Amino acid sequence: MAALTNLCSRDETARAYGAADRLWDLQEVNGVPFPANATLSFLAAETIAIQGPCNRITASNTVPYPWFSVTLVSSTKRSCPDLQHEKSLTNALERTTVIEILDNVMILSNTENLNMVFIAAD
């Protein structure tokens, strides 16, 4: 019974495929440099921390790699001059459906030509 429980609880999200224990810096969206600071980190099997230009956001991703589906869970409510960029970031993340991790590069994309490139900060 314990072996079956371990098999059922195995992490199949992006975290288990190279995303864990790294801070991912957003470099560009659709080939254009992202004009503000934004990072992602994969805290647990289904939990993602997003540090936008203004706020810290917690999100979940429950689908197995290479699929990606962000559900925003909570956020601080600070305002700053880059709030427009943060809204653009969260909008793009919510539309992402695929993740690819290639060593220190992570690409989030969808079938509608969205392409977000992150570089590991470590």
The pLDDT assigned to 53 comes to: 96
**Encoded tokens for 73:** 């869970």
The pLDDT assigned to 10 comes to: 73
Query: By C-alpha distance, which of 86, 26, 35, 24 is closest to 56?
Result: 86
Query: By C-alpha distance, which of 22, 27, 15 is closest to 107?
Result: 27
The conformation of residue 16, written as its DSSP 8-state character, comes to: G
Note down pLDDT in tens along the chain; length 122 residues. Answer: 444 344 455 788 898 899 999 999 999 999 999 999 999 999 988 999 999 999 999 999 999 999 999 999 999 999 999 999 999 999 999 999 999 999 999 999 999 999 999 999 96
Whether omega before 66 lies within 30 degrees of 0, making that bond cis, reads: yes
CB 71 within 8 A of CB 102: no
**Encoded tokens for 74:** 């909570």
Spans of all domains in the chain: 10-120
What CATH code is assigned to 10-120? 2.40.128.270
pTM of the model: 0.88
The pLDDT assigned to 6 comes to: 40
CB 53 within 8 A of CB 82: yes
